[in-house]
Amino acid sequence: MPSFLPILAALVTFAVSLTAVSPIPAVIDIVVPPAFDLHTVSPSFVSLSIEQDRWTDWSGTTSRNEFFYNVMENLKDLTGSSPGIRIGANSEDRTDFNRAVQYAEDVFPAPNPTTPYPEATHITVGDGYYTTAKYLLPDTEVIWGVNFGKKNLTAAVLEATSIMRAFSGPDISNLGISLKYLEIGNEPDLYMNNGLRSGDYNVGQYVTEYLEFVPSPLKRIPHSLQCLRWSDFANVIFQEIELNTTSTRFLAGAFAGSSSNLNGFSPQAIYNLGITESPAGEYIAAFSEHHYQGSFCSGSEGVLSDLMNKANIRGNLSQYASDIQATHAQGLEYIFGETNSYSCHGAPGVSNTAGAAIWALDYMLYAATLDIQHVYFHDGIGFKYNLIQPVTLTRSILDGSTLPSPLSPHVQPQYYAGIVAAEAIGKSGNTQISELDIDDPQISGFVFYEDYEEKRMILINHTPYFYEDESAGTQRPVTDVRINFPKHCGGTQNIVVKMLEIQHSDDTSGVTWGGQSYDTSDGLVKGSPFTGTVALNESLGVPASQAALVVFECS
């Protein structure tokens, strides 16, 4: 239907001045197109993945962690929906269950400068560990991982039944908190490298093992765990908890990478091997991919300007297009169940900076346009790439050195990306997103529609501007954007603009959103909101390393 397509989504014109002594910046004319290429974006799209070993630091044990609760509630206030929580990751496959343990007992290796807050090498949990999910926001949908790495069925069954019991108990279910998916192991595509399987472990073996969790309701279950086989896993937990009466489903994948073809580990390969056609298939409702844009595992430097780069973000995410399509063709949800900037807890001076907030904002919104249905940003206590540090820290997250004074719970710059996205998604419950086709390597833009009407727009300037640039006297680049009003506004109203203010890309604090700060002792927003307006045909300046939310207000 050609008349439905935009003729020109955006066009760039260059102001010309013969007497210019400094470069005249480009002016970008944005014609907000009528609804096109829309992608539904869930109100709980921006979600959190938590490293399993120190989960109770996030939740609280005998009382809830108020700071964590507040910063989650800030997001819910903007979208009307509690962000999703996934608990798992590497320490998921190092977890044992012992009913005698009250919450969790961890064995941690010594910290070092590359890994100031190492993950537990061993964790033993008891029932109380899972019941702390009662401290989450009401209506939170949870993904919890069970140990598939150790291939110890007894441990996996004990964990899963404890999880199912916790979520079916009144403390959790009365709050509407639910177990959405059980994750069966973390990154099984790496098991051949990390000693959890033999070196020749392949996707065929993965599918066979996964299907041994098959729930076949007609089968009789042996009552002694001693006699259990893998194929009894689901039967046992179904019987114990009557999983068939809940909405809980299984997650497939949780792969660290994807071959995107039938060889190697990929969603295409597991579907081809029949994972969804098996009796278990009925209980698989989503495929989870993990993605980091870079790696800090060997301690090498990350480069902030590479992370923030518009083309790099598109390259990193668009490689999953065929995986997403294959997954949706199976009727499954496709999620990024674990993601962030640099794997192995982030790169110092990169993942913890304001520039990473620019990265995260564009990354999550671009992911939404690819029909990735939820993105779970991975966080652990003291990890560099966190959105949130929910407990007091005594060691530097950058090099492990002892801090001169303890650092109270606080948000990190990337948290603001979540806030900005949440505000743009809004509370409609049926928001759709579309990327503007802006032919500029530094500027990206996304329009948010409700009922096919343009409501809001986000503009992001990817240009880095470092503290060093300012010290050297380099003027901060600003890109001017002229926004043509959407038709339904009639052309008489102003547009309201709210800025994500960042002084320098490498700042690690001081970020504000429309003049307000979340860098407060209780995590609640502080300060008076500040918005500006732009009149018709007036241009809006978007400074390097900042982002703007444009709200089309129709009277």
Ligand X SMILES: *[C@@H]1O[C@H](CO)[C@@H](O)[C@H](O)[C@H]1NC(C)=O
Interacting residues with ligand X (CB under 6 A): 96-97, 152, 154-155, 158, 217, 242, 244-245, 293-294, 306-307, 312, 315-316, 319, 536-537
Give every strand in the sheet of 95-97, ordered side by side: 95-97, 122-125, 104-107
Q: How far is the CB of 431 from ligand X (least distance, A)?
A: 27
293 vs 442, which CB is nearer to ligand X?
293
CA distances 478 to 26, 257, 442, 482, 516, Å, are 9, 37, 11, 13, 22
530 Cβ neighbours under 8 A, 6+ residues apart: 498, 514, 515, 516
Q: Which of 314, 362, 395 is nearest to 500 (CA)?
A: 362
245 vs 528, which CB is nearer to ligand X?
245
Q: Which of 214, 149, 144 is nearest to 182 (CA)?
A: 144
155 vs 192, which CB is nearer to ligand X?
155
319 vs 408, which CB is nearer to ligand X?
319
158 vs 438, which CB is nearer to ligand X?
158
Residue at shortest CB range from ligand X: 315
Q: With b meaning 16 or more CB within 10 Å and e meaning fewer, what string describes 356-393?
A: bbbbbbbbbbbbbbbbbbbbbbbbbbbbbbbbbbbbeb
- Token pair of 94, please? 């190092």
82 vs 352, which CB is nearer to ligand X?
352
- Token pair of 135, please? 């401290």
Q: How far is the CB of 156 from ligand X (least distance, A)?
A: 8
231 vs 312, which CB is nearer to ligand X?
312
- Token pair of 234, please? 């689901």
Q: How far is the CB of 282 from ligand X (least distance, A)?
A: 13
Q: How far is the CB of 221 from ligand X (least distance, A)?
A: 10
CA distances 37 to 150, 371, 447, 449, 452, Å, are 44, 11, 11, 11, 11
- Token pair of 278, please? 């098996």
Q: How far is the CB of 96 from ligand X (least distance, A)?
A: 4
Q: How far is the CB of 194 from ligand X (least distance, A)?
A: 17
228 vs 420, which CB is nearer to ligand X?
228
> What 3-state DSSP class applies to 106?
strand
Q: With b meaning 16 or more CB within 10 Å and e meaning fewer, what string describes 28-42?
A: bbbbbbbbeeebebb
User: Is-contact 255 249, C-beta < 8 A?
Assistant: no
Annotate 219-260 with DSSP letters as a single string: SPPPSSGGG--GGGHHHHHHHHH-GGGS--EEEEEEES----
176 vs 315, which CB is nearer to ligand X?
315
Q: How far is the CB of 308 from ligand X (least distance, A)?
A: 8
43 vs 267, which CB is nearer to ligand X?
267
Label each residue of 25-63 as H, E or C: CCEEEEECCCCCCCEECCCCCEEEEEEHHHHHHHHCCCC
Q: How far is the CB of 163 from ligand X (least distance, A)?
A: 14
317 vs 391, which CB is nearer to ligand X?
317
d(C-alpha 362, C-alpha 354), whole Å: 13
Q: How far is the CB of 306 from ligand X (least distance, A)?
A: 4
Annotate 489-552 with DSSP letters as a single string: GTT-S-EEEEEEE-S-TT-SS--EETTBB--STTS--BS----EEE-TT-EEEEETT-EEEEEE
208 Cβ neighbours under 8 A, 6+ residues apart: none
Q: How far is the CB of 295 from ligand X (least distance, A)?
A: 10
508 vs 539, which CB is nearer to ligand X?
539
Q: How far is the CB of 312 from ligand X (least distance, A)?
A: 4
Q: How far is the CB of 393 from ligand X (least distance, A)?
A: 27
**CB neighbourhood size of 394 (10 A):** 11
152 vs 494, which CB is nearer to ligand X?
152
Q: How far is the CB of 359 from ligand X (least distance, A)?
A: 8
d(C-alpha 160, C-alpha 130), whole Å: 10
d(C-alpha 529, C-alpha 516), whole Å: 6
